């Protein structure tokens, strides 16, 4: 097992509502090693996004422990990058200025980071678009900007919450390939939330399957499938059937 970047132990998350306490996550235990690509899948409402927000330091846990490189996560951190389903770009900032936003906020200095931003934009196919504005870009191009922004400050880990969920199929496939290229080139540690089993298998080293809410880990599945992966291959579809059965069996039990 590579050195642990993330370690989660006994994680529980409760929300107080007008009708009482709602249990969103319970008894969550897992680790993510240096350079691993881990996908988290589960039905709607199972707490996938809540888990990611706790990892990002955007939500506190009700109980348990979450550590980044052996340090407790108690709030937002400079060494964690986050990409959401919506690109959340500032319309008055150019592409380059949007990418450099974390640099400006964290007062890291633009000199060296401007060069890095231009290199990252070239890596995701946006060379020549540095001085465009978000409204001049397609949805897929905007999401590339968001991914670049998540990488600009060299985070220890990149958290991605269904980043391709709102895109058309062709753009989604292209960005999946580009994300894998970035991951392989940089050795980045990635935790990727998705509702798509196919996307999880295509991208990840491991697929963590969650149960319907309250979210618990049903299984943690290491994929022994060589890259590049062919979604039409018998091996790929065999894994898809196994993971699909795990996901839907708990959903069916809860419905019953």
245 burial type by CB count under 10 A (0-12 exposed, 13-18 middle, 19+ buried): exposed
Flag the least confident range among 100-109, 134-143, 175-184, 222-231: 100-109
The pLDDT, as a whole number, for residue 118 is 93
With bands split at pLDDT 50, 70 and 90, how would you rate the model's confidence at 17?
confident
Around Cβ 129, how many Cβ atoms within 10 Å?
18
Question: So what's the pLDDT on residue 35?
Answer: 95
What is the predicted pLDDT for the residue at 253?
54
Give the pLDDT mean for 127-152.
93
Instruction: Write down the pTM of the prediction.
Output: 0.90
Kindly report, residue by residue over 34-51, the tens digit of the pLDDT.
Answer: 999 999 999 888 999 999
| pLDDT band for position 2 (cuts 50, 70, 90) | low
Determine what percent of the chain is predicted with pLDDT higher than 70.
96
Percent of the chain scoring above 90 in pLDDT = 64
Q: Please tell me the predicted confidence (pLDDT) of residue 51.
A: 95
Question: Is the per-residue pLDDT at 226 higher than 60?
Answer: yes
Q: How many residues does the chain have?
A: 256
Read off the pLDDT band of 16 (50, 70, 90).
confident
Q: What is the mean pLDDT of residues 211-220?
A: 92
- Would you state the pLDDT for residue 251? 52
Neighbours of 92 (CB within 10 A): 9
CB 239 within 8 A of CB 201: yes
**Is the pLDDT confidence value at 256 over 50?**
no
Q: Label residue 67 by pLDDT band (50, 70, 90).
A: very high
Query: How far is residue 144's CA from residue 123's CA, in Å, rounded to a whole number?
Result: 10
- pLDDT over 60 (residue 153): yes
* Pairwise pLDDT comparison (103 vs 218), residue with the higher score: 218
Kindly provide the b/e burial profile for residues 169-202, where b requires at least 16 CB atoms within 10 angstroms of the residue's own CB: eebbebbbebbbebbeeeebbbbbbbbebbbbbb
Beta carbons of 185 and 123 less than 8 angstroms apart = yes
Query: Mean of the per-residue pLDDT values for the chain?
Result: 90
Check residue 28 and give its pLDDT: 96
Query: Over the stretch 82-120, which tens digit does the pLDDT of each residue have?
Result: 998 888 899 999 999 999 998 888 877 788 789 999 989
């Amino acid at each position: 097992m590579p050195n642990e970047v993330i370690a989660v132990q006994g994680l529980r998350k409760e929300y107080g509502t007008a009708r009482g306490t709602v249990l969103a996550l319970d008894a969550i235990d897992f680790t993510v090693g240096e350079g691993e690509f881990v996908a988290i899948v589960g039905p709607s409402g199972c707490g996938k996004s809540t888990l990611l927000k706790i990892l990002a330091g955007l939500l506190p846990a009700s109980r348990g422990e979450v550590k980044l490189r052996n340090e407790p996560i108690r709030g937002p951190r400079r060494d964690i990058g986050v990409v959401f389903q919506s690109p959340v770009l500032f319309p008055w900032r150019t592409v380059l200025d949007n990418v450099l936003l974390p640099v400006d906020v964290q007062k890291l200095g633009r000199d060296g980071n401007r060069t890095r931003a231009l290199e990252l934009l070239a890596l995701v196919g946006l060379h020549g678009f540095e001085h465009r504005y978000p409204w001049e870009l397609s949805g897929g191009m905007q999401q590339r900007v968001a991914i670049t922004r998540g990488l600009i400050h060299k985070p220890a880990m990149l958290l991605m919450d269904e980043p391709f969920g709102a895109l058309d199929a062709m753009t989604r496939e292209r960005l999946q390939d580009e994300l894998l290229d970035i991951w392989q080139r940089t050795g980045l540690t990635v935790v990727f939330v998705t509702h798509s089993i196919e996307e999880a298998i295509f991208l990840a080293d491991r697929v963590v399957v969650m149960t319907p809410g309250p979210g618990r880990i049903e299984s943690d599945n290491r994929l022994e499938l060589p890259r590049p992966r062919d979604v039409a291959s018998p091996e790929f579809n065999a894994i898809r059937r196994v993971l699909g059965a795990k996901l839907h069996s708990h959903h069916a039990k809860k419905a019953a």
